[in-house]
Structure 1
Amino acid sequence: MDNYVDRANQVMRKLKEKEDASNNNYKMVTTSQIRKFLAAVNRINGKIDQKKNGNKTSVARKIPEDLQMEIKFLKVKLAYQIGRAEDKRRNNPVKDFENKAELFKEIDGIGDSLEKYENFARYVEALVAFHKFYGGEED
């Protein structure tokens, strides 16, 4: 992944600009919507850390199959959030967030690479941080 900090900043800045230009017809993804996704990523982080700690000889470079499936399941969690966010005006800030951040694509690109997953997790953290920085609202 390219510089995830700059990329996260750009994504959240563009979403905030869209909100500001909409005259209250559009709201950016909320803090609780984005944090639910971060919480799922953090649960996987904890499981990966447990596996790494259990491997005394060396830190594994490949993610075990069971955790690879959990990472892929992040797409399901995000798809559910997208489905819940649709409103009567057909605005969907969670879908806009996914499209700009390209989270489905990022998840697909992880495979069994621990390095790619760790970069992805940092990217999601950076998205949450810049969401707050740009004044992202609660529900």
Structure 2
Amino acid sequence: MMNGFKESWITNSIDFETVCWAQNKGKELASGTDQLSTSQLRKFFGELRRIESDYERYKEDIPLLTVKLAYATGRNKKSKIKDFYRYFKEMDKAYRSSDNKKESFYRMVKIIESIVAFHKFSGGN
């Protein structure tokens, strides 16, 4: 469990505690001079949406999401993308523990969508 993240949010169900966690993470990513840019977040989120649009066709791309974030983290050393990378790794670990269930992937997308929304709400550029 990292920073209050619970694996059950991915494997079982999302609840109000999940939303509070996402709100805190979105706010953290939008704060400071090293804030994560909205374009970085949206680019990654767009990739999630592409996979979600046809899960059976694109599910083999899910393991590559970590690679894409690792690359973005390496390119942007002064950004909080490293923090987002760590959050995603926890979610990905929970997804894999669910035997890669489609419903678990959809919950992961919803949680990341919540982080994106709260990041923007908190003033993310």
TM-score between the two structures when normalised by the length of structure 1: 0.69
Report the RMSD for the aligned CA atoms in angstroms: 1.9
| Amino acid aligned to 2:19 | V
CA displacement 1:40-66 (0-9 Å, x = unmatched): 100001112xx4xxxxxxxxxxxx8x6
Give the aligned partner of residue 122 of structure 1.
110
Note if contact 1:72-1:108 (Cα within 8 Å) is conserved in structure 2: no
Pairs within 5 Å for 1:15-94: 15-17=29-31, 19=32, 26-48=33-55, 51=56, 67=59, 69-86=60-77, 91-94=78-81
The one-letter code of the counterpart of 2:101 is S
% identity of equivalent residues = 31
Larger radius of gyration: 1
Residue 113 of structure 1: how far off its partner (Å): 1.3
The CA distance in 2 between the partners of 1:47 and 1:118, in whole Å, is: 12
For structure 1, list consecutive stretches of 5 or more residues without a partner in the other structure.
20-25, 52-63
How many aligned positions are there?
108
Which runs of 5 or more residues in structure 2 are unaligned?
Answer: 1-8
Structure 1 runs (4+) deviating above 4 angstroms are none
Q: Post-superposition shift, 1:72?
A: 1.2
The equivalent of 1:58 in structure 2 is none
**Partner Cα distance (2:95, 2:104) in 1:** 5
